[in-house]
Amino acid sequence: MEVVCEKGVVTFDGRVVEVFGFGRQDFSIRIHVATLETLKVNPGGRFSGPFVNFKARNMKIDGMAVLTEQEAAGPEIAALIAAVRAAAPQLEA
């Protein structure tokens, strides 16, 4: 799965989540689902836009995908998040 967003790209191959760009000093983050501790979907608010945060154990940097409101409401990112959750049963709902 690949979701091309305005500020970066998120991919998921069934085992590894990759987050490219999104203003994170031009490097990518790779996270295997077995190491995921949390997957947070933030709808945004008064001072921030929507984003998805992938936190893995023993990693100092999280994978963060900053989204537009249209991207956050779209079916592509929802499908990717559902697929990651399905592949990582250790995550809390």
> Phi-psi category of 58—alpha, beta or left, where left has phi over 0 and alpha has psi -120 to 50?
left
CB 44 within 8 A of CB 72: yes
- Give the per-residue pLDDT at 13: 97
Domains of the chain: 2-87 (2.30.29.30)
* Virtual torsion, Cα 13, 14, 15, 17, nearest 10 deg: 50
Query: What pLDDT tens digit does each residue of the chain (93 aa) get?
Result: 999 999 999 999 999 999 998 876 667 899 999 999 999 999 988 888 899 999 999 988 888 999 999 999 999 999 999 999 999 988 875
